[in-house]
Chains A and B, each alone.
Chain A
Amino acid sequence: DAGVIQSPRHEVTEMGQEVTLRCKPISGHDYLFWYRQTMMRGLELLIYFNNNVPIDDSGMPEDRFSAKMPNASFSTLKIQPSEPRDSAVYFCASSLGAGVAGEFFGPGTRLTVL
């Protein structure tokens, strides 16, 4: 398996633009997580899905952020409109089950909002 795939790897955009981050989890994994990492706040869980259903989105910073998982092999994290403080590395991770085994992380998307 190729592991968790994220795209794009780097995104530079201007404030106010819409940003869409994409993730393909490992086949067979039924949990998918979106994290954000910054120097100031470390690694934060934004939202996670189980069998394509959002379970906990309490980490989503505000209404400008939304995430979808239309099927078992694809998820998106959208920021609209983007702001400079959204600049961070966004990681997607998948696992076989919460607490069963480790989460497998993708390489991340480095987002810069100017």
Chain B
Amino acid sequence: SQQGEEDPQALSIQEGENATMNCSYKTSINNLQWYRQNSGRGLVHLILIRSNEREKHSGRLRVTLDTSKKSSSLLITASRAADTASYFCATDARGQNFVFGPGTRLSVLP
């Protein structure tokens, strides 16, 4: 079973709106990462958040981590058409390597 699982599987919004994606996982982690993948391209690392952190920001991205609920969220504010991509969370269960979820496909419509 997936260690990290994103929700929703697909999300469609209008340009300028905010997009929120969630990731739930099953076992305790050291770190959680969010990646973006444009169609047909490799993955791009967005943010790494450690288990002792609750929130991190990077530009229009905001990531939160709630270890008590074993969940994380990625918020993209003021979305743009260029944000259209698949977004993956990856978790490292203690002692193991990063495991990727199935991803959320985000479509930002102009």
Residues of A within 8 A of B (CB): 4, 33, 35, 42-45, 48, 56, 91, 93, 98-99, 101-108
Contacts and interface: CB of A to CB of B under 8 A. Distances in A.
Contacts of B35: 102, 105
A88 to B, nearest CB: 13
Q: How large is the interface on B (under 10, 10 to 19, 20 to 34, 35 or more residues)?
A: 20 to 34
Nearest to B94: A99
A45 B45 contact: no
User: Most chain-B CB neighbours within 10 Å: which of A56, A106, A108?
Assistant: A108
Contacts of A101: 45, 48
Given A99-B30, A102-B33, A45 B98 contact: yes
A interface majority secondary structure? strand
A102 to B, nearest CB: 3
Interface string B96-110: 011111110000000
B42 A105 contact: yes
B29 to A, nearest CB: 9
Contacts of A91: 42-43
